[in-house]
Amino acid sequence: MEASYIMLPVFMTLIIGVATQMEDIAQDASDKALAFSDDMNHAMDCATRGVPIKECSPELMSHDFSPEKEAYLEALREFKEQAEAQLENATETDT
């Protein structure tokens, strides 16, 4: 039982670590989303004036959120692996 209390700070550290990683990922995604929004606004202006979107907003279709998605999934995988390892160690210590 005492080992469970000892493991609490370890789990808190894991949670803080993954939260920090996800905050960085979210900031990158947010920056890309703002750039996409700006490009979309330019594209709408072009559309109302009959100007081809490729001239006003050539970057519109180049926004790729795949790296952020992969980084998010990797952070979750790492957290899961570390948490499972810590839980296994805690249960071995308790028995």
Between 4 and 72, the higher pLDDT residue: 72
Instruction: Give the residue among 69, 71, 65 at the shortest CA–CA distance from 33.
Output: 65
- The answer, yes or no, to whether residue 95 has pLDDT greater than 60, is no
Examine residue 67 and state whether it is found in any structural domain, yes or no. yes
Q: Would you state the pLDDT for residue 62?
A: 87
Examine residue 53 and state whether it is found in any structural domain, yes or no. yes
Examine residue 16 and state whether it is found in any structural domain, yes or no. no
Domain holding 45, by residue range, is 31-83
- The answer, yes or no, to whether residue 3 has pLDDT greater than 60, is no
Domain count, the chain: 1
- The answer, yes or no, to whether residue 90 has pLDDT greater than 90, is no
Examine residue 62 and state whether it is found in any structural domain, yes or no. yes
Examine residue 13 and state whether it is found in any structural domain, yes or no. no
Average per-residue pLDDT for the chain = 86
- The answer, yes or no, to whether residue 4 has pLDDT greater than 70, is no
CB–CB of 39/63 below 8 Å? Answer: yes
Examine residue 54 and state whether it is found in any structural domain, yes or no. yes
Q: Would you state the pLDDT for residue 82?
A: 87
Examine residue 40 and state whether it is found in any structural domain, yes or no. yes
Examine residue 95 and state whether it is found in any structural domain, yes or no. no
Q: Would you state the pLDDT for residue 24?
A: 93
